[in-house]
Copies of this chain bind each other. A is one copy, B any other.
Amino acid sequence: MANIDFERTPVARPNETKIFGTVETSVDFAKTFGKDVTLQRALSALQRGPGRFYRDNVIACDGDAADYMFFVVSGVVRSCKVFESGTRNVVAFYLPGDLFGWSDLKHSLSIEAASDTAVLFLKRNALLSLATRNSRVASYLLSATTNQLERAHEHVILNSKTAKCRTATFFKELWVRLGQPKYLDVPMSYQDIADYLGLTIETLSRSITDLERSGLISRVSGRKLLLQNRFALGRMMN
Contacts and interface: CB of A to CB of B under 8 A. Distances in A.
Contact of A152 (B79, B131, B138, B152): B152
How many copies of this chain does one complex carry?
2
A57 interface: no
A204 to B, nearest CB: 13
A24 to B, nearest CB: 29
- Interface bracket on A: 35 or more
B89 A154 contact: no
Interface string A81-121: 10101000101100000000011101101000000000000
A198 B148 contact: no
Contacts of A160: 89, 159, 198
5 contacts: A81-B157, A91-B153, A91-B157, A128-B142, A156-B156
The 6 closest A-B pairs by CB, nearest first: A152-B152, A160-B198, A102-B146, A103-B146, A89-B157, A91-B153
